[in-house]
Structure 1
């Protein structure tokens, strides 16, 4: 390109979240032919007035294109805009207000976009089927995995083998089902279940009723720099979610050489690519059988390690960023 294209970016998404991670990596690999302005408003990310604010920011900006790493499009814009819809979880697991926002705001504004980025073909199909967004407007760009996971040799120190869950505790994450299956699994009692985050009353009540108080450990907030060794130290990662737009823990675990048990629904088989053990997340006995297989079937376990490492190589943040900038600048 002969001249640099000025991009207005919704930088409010910077931070320690999944969307914040995408934003960080996309900006890290920004090409030299782009220059930037950033949204100046400090309006909260959850504000229903964000689309109006973004329209005003675009109107007063000298930028040629607007980009958001998440689901807030501008209410009006004479300039091309690109935004990212990671999933449609809000239609199923959030409040009625969230559902209305997606159906009445995103669905109405999305057709005006230059392009909508999403993170899996599953999410693309939902955008088309549930919000009526034209298929031609949607570009699938997978998330990446940091090379630190592939290159790390350090393991988290634990005196007992452990299964690992990394993520929040929202309903779609299906954590109670995984804990129940773990408690029922016919495996040596030395196996632990490690979870990111801290204890909560509801989960503690379940753990007590299952009689596994001494087999569950909370890891609290996990620093990004500590994640590779925590994955690598695990016997396997459990991620039997009911619905995901992508499922980053799958490829982070695979890149660490740690097998994954995940779901056979939503985007998860797509991301696993045949290299994880996929089970029905609504069937506790199926999750239980999967846990038992990962402990008792050594040949299958080692196949998961090898295949997972190969699958993880298909994903990189550099590739994610390159495809994103190609979409923005084209």
Structure 2
């Protein structure tokens, strides 16, 4: 059976892709190799030369595959999200797709092509103060539209599926639970002892990590619990802190790094902390493999991809109790009250 599948690949073409973009890249790179008779059309709106994932050898090989086509759709500005609601569905119809996959909590308002939509989480509706009230209403309308338009809904966890059922009355039979896979680069490096040692050595030298480090993937959202992590470090006896450090990556914008640095200084643990912005994707395997532990005490997550990457490296993990994180990690992690 031949299939022609279109993907809203904007997250894959981002200059600094987060978990969604990296996972989408790995998923379709694998699927295109497993199904050479299918055709995959990657719709995007950025210059591919700016996409970190696609500048790698793996990225170039993916885009050069005979059954993969990257299609840039230009749309000046972003008023009314015309790229998603007008340009994308028109191009999907023109290209005669069998299905259009929208992987980021949204779908076109009207689409002649059957849509399969991924809903990662309902965090703006579940976590008080995550967004302002206007954005909260916009998010609800976006998910309502996606639920109405999509022929099939995909979630990474049963927790998100259950949230959809509770919040929007979705028939659970319309939902396929497809967990994320770990980062392919992390897995390949973790599985080769010599490569793993070189990767860890390079990370120690590049970031001057001269002590065992605990790794956290942060961000500007309060649900990531960055300030509480700093306070928790300060609560650890000094004798245990002396030979360790906390490394937080993804601390963007720069003002967040300044806030955390000030908080660490006030708590007396600044010398034990390293607050980094976005780090190159190529550095993540060495950071995770070399870490003494991965910390993910978030107030809420839709999946928790760092946990899966930590397990691939054999790195211990600490996560928040309950919800999607405990569903993903099972008995393989330690848990805390965030």
Please report the TM-score for the alignment, with normalisation by the length of structure 1. Answer: 0.77
1:6 matched to which residue of 2?
A: 4
Q: How does 1:128-277 map to 2 (within 5 A)?
A: 128-145=165-182, 146=184, 147-152=187-192, 153-154=196-197, 155=200, 156-157=203-204, 158-186=209-237, 187-197=240-250, 200-277=257-334
Deviation at 1:45, TM superposition (A): 7.8
The verdict on how the C-alpha distance between 1:105 and 1:224 changes in structure 2, with shifts beyond 3 A counting, is closer
| Number of residues of Structure 1 aligned to a counterpart in Structure 2 | 279
Counting only pairs closer than 5 Å after superposition, residues 1-330 of structure 1 correspond to structure 2 as 1=1, 4-14=2-12, 15=14, 16-29=17-30, 30=32, 31-39=35-43, 40-43=72-75, 48-53=81-86, 54-91=88-125, 92=127, 93-145=130-182, 146=184, 147-152=187-192, 153-154=196-197, 155=200, 156-157=203-204, 158-186=209-237, 187-197=240-250, 200-281=257-338
Deviations 1:118-145 (CA, angstroms, capped at 9, x unpaired):
1111111111112222211111101111
| Contact 2:109-2:145 at 8 Å conserved across structures | no
Structure 1 position 257, deviation (Å):
1.5
Change (3 A) 1:38 1:149: closer
Residues 157 and 177 in structure 2, CA contact (< 8 A), matched pair in contact too: yes
What is the rounded CA distance, in whole Å, between the counterparts of 2:213 and 2:10 in structure 1?
Answer: 37
Contact 1:120 1:246 in 2 (8 A): yes
Q: How big is the shift at 1:47?
A: 5.5
Q: Distance in 2 between matches of 1:274 and 1:123?
A: 20
Distance 1:46 1:233 in 2: 44
| Cα offset, 1:51, TM superposition | 4.4
How many angstroms apart in 2 are the aligned matches of 1:105 and 1:111? 10
Q: Is the 8 A contact 1:236 1:260 kept in 2?
A: yes
Distance in 2 (CA, whole Å) between partners of 1:82 and 1:45 is 23
Query: Using the alignment, how far apart are the partners of 2:78 and 2:299 within structure 1?
Result: 25
Q: More relative contact order in 1 or in 2 (CA 8 Å, sep 6+)? A: 1
How far apart, CA to CA, are the structure 1 residues paired with 2:250 and 2:214? 15
TM-fit CA distance, 1:69: 1.9
Q: Which runs of 5+ in 2 are unaligned?
A: 44-71
Equivalent-residue separation in structure 2 for 1:71 and 1:33 (angstroms):
28
Q: Which moved more, 1:246-255 or 1:189-198?
A: 189-198
Superimposed CA distance per residue, residues 144-183 of structure 1 (whole angstroms, 9 cap, x where no aligned partner): 1122253153224332222111232311101111111111
